[in-house]
Amino acid sequence: MSRFLPLAAGSAAMSFVGGSVAVSAEITDAPLFTIQSLRYALACLLLLGFARLARSRLTRPRGAEWLWLAGIAATGMVIFNLALVQGARHAEPAVLGVAVACVPVLLAAAGPLLEGRGPAPAVLAGAVVVTVGAGLVQGLGRTDGTGLAWAVVTFAGEAAFTLLAVPVLGRHGPVGVSVHTTWLAAAMLAVLGVLHEGPAAAGRLTGSDLIAGAYLAIAVTALAFVLWYACVSRVGAGPTGLLTGIAPIAAALTGVALGGPAPRPLVWAGIAVVALGLAIGLRPARDPAPPPAPTRRVPELTATGGELT
C-alpha cells in the first residue's frame, strides 16, 4: 500500500497539534486536571461513536496490554500535560518546544527496535535534520534547572506516546488504542482533579474554557490520535516520528493566521530545513536488486540420447 495516505494522516495530526498552541493558551488559568479529564472523556465518547458508525470492533485489553495502554495514558497524556504547565513556569515556551523537537531522533532509533528490525540510516539522518529545523523554528529560550528538568520530562512523555503504542497497535488498531488510552487518562486526571482541585473544580470553568477544551477533545485528541496511530501502524514509528517537525511549523503559521507577526527569516530557514529532513527520511527505499537467476546446466547428450551425469 502506498505510504502517501498514512503520511498525510500523520501530517494532519501534527498540524492539529501545532495549531492548538493558541487554544491551549486559553486554558492556562483553568483547573488543569479537571479540564483535561473532561477533554479526554469527551474524546473517548466521540471515538466510541466513531467506532460504532465504522463498525470497528473494540477489543478488551489483556495481560501486559493493560500496562502498555496505561503507560501511554500516564506518561504521554497525564505527565506530558503536567510537564507542559509546570515547565512553562520555569522556562520559555521555546525550551519545551525544542525538547519535543528532539523526539524524531529517539523514535527513529528506538521505534524500529520495538517493531523487530533495525533503524534505517536514512530515517535517522532525516530525524537529525528535522530536529535541527524544528529547533530553528522554535528558537531558543531561557530556563533554569527546574525548567530544564521539566523539558526532559516533556520529551520523554512525547516519545512514550508513540513508542508505548507500538506493541498494542497490531491487536487493537488506531481506534482501539485511542479509545482505551483516553478513558484511562480521563480516569487518572479525574482522580488528580478531585485530590488537588476539589470536587467543585468543574464549576469554576468558564465558557471559553469549555470551548477550548471541546476543540482540544475533537481535533487534537479524537481526530489527531487516530490519524497519528494510523500512520504509526502503517509506516512505522521511525518515519512517523519525522512528522513531529510539522507541529512547530503549524504553530508558527497559525500565529500568523490569527494576526501575529510574520515569521522571522530564521523561522523560514527552519521550515526549509524541516522540509529537507522530511525529504531525506521519507524518500522511498530502493528495492533490493533481485538475486541472479541460478544457472541451469544444459545436459550433454550421448550418442544414444541419454544424459551424462
Residue 143 bridge partners (DSSP): 91
Q: What is the pLDDT of residue 287?
A: 47
Instruction: Round to whole Å and give the CA distance between 282 and 237.
Output: 12
Joined together, the cell numbers standing for residue 119 give: 533503524
Closest by CA to 92, choosing from 128, 17, 144, is 144
- DSSP per-residue letters across the chain: --SHHHHHHHHHHHHHHHHTHHHHGGGTTS-HHHHHHHHHHHHHHHHHHHHHHTTPPP----TTHHHHHHHIIIIIIIIHHHHHHHHHTTB-HHHHHHHHHTHHHHHHHHHHHHTTSPPPHHHHHHHHHHHHHHHHHH----B-HHHHHHHHHHHHHHHHHHHTTHHHHHHHHHHHHHHHHHHHHHHHHHHHHHHHH-TTGGGG--HHHHHHHHHIIIIIIIIHHHHHHHHHHHH-HHHHHHGGGHHHHHHHHHHHHTT-PPPPHHHHHHHHHHHHHHHHHHSPPPPPPPPPPPPPPPPPB-TTSPBP-
Whether residue 303 has pLDDT greater than 60 = no
Whether residue 210 has pLDDT greater than 70 = yes
307: left (phi > 0), else alpha (psi -120 to 50), else beta?
beta
Q: The pTM is what?
A: 0.86
Instruction: Round to whole Å and give the CA distance between 39 and 185.
Output: 10
pLDDT digits (tens, 9 = 90+) for 250-284: 888 877 777 777 778 888 898 999 999 999 999 87
Whether residue 221 has pLDDT greater than 80 = yes
- Taking residue 246's Cβ as centre, other Cβ atoms within 10 Å add up to 23
Instruction: Round to whole Å and give the CA distance between 41 and 202.
Output: 13
Q: What is the 3-state secondary structure (H, E, C) of 170-228?
A: HHHHHHHHHHHHHHHHHHHHHHHHHHHHCCCHHHHCCHHHHHHHHHHHHHHHHHHHHHH
Joined together, the cell numbers standing for residue 259 give: 494576526
Instruction: Grade residue 232 by pLDDT with cuts at 50, 70 and 90.
Output: very high
Instruction: Round to whole Å and give the CA distance between 161 and 8.
Output: 19
For 162, phi then psi, to 5°, come to -95, -50
Amino acid residing at 229: Y
Instruction: Round to whole Å and give the CA distance between 186 and 50.
Output: 18
Q: What is the pLDDT of residue 285?
A: 62
Q: What is the pLDDT of residue 87?
A: 80
Closest by CA to 80, choosing from 197, 189, 158, 162, is 158
pLDDT digits (tens, 9 = 90+) for 144-187: 888 889 889 989 999 999 999 999 999 999 999 999 999 999 99
Whether residue 143 has pLDDT greater than 90 = no
pLDDT mean across residues, the chain:
86
Amino acid residing at 174: P
Question: Is residue 242 a contact partner of residue 109, using CB atoms and an 8 Å limit?
Answer: no
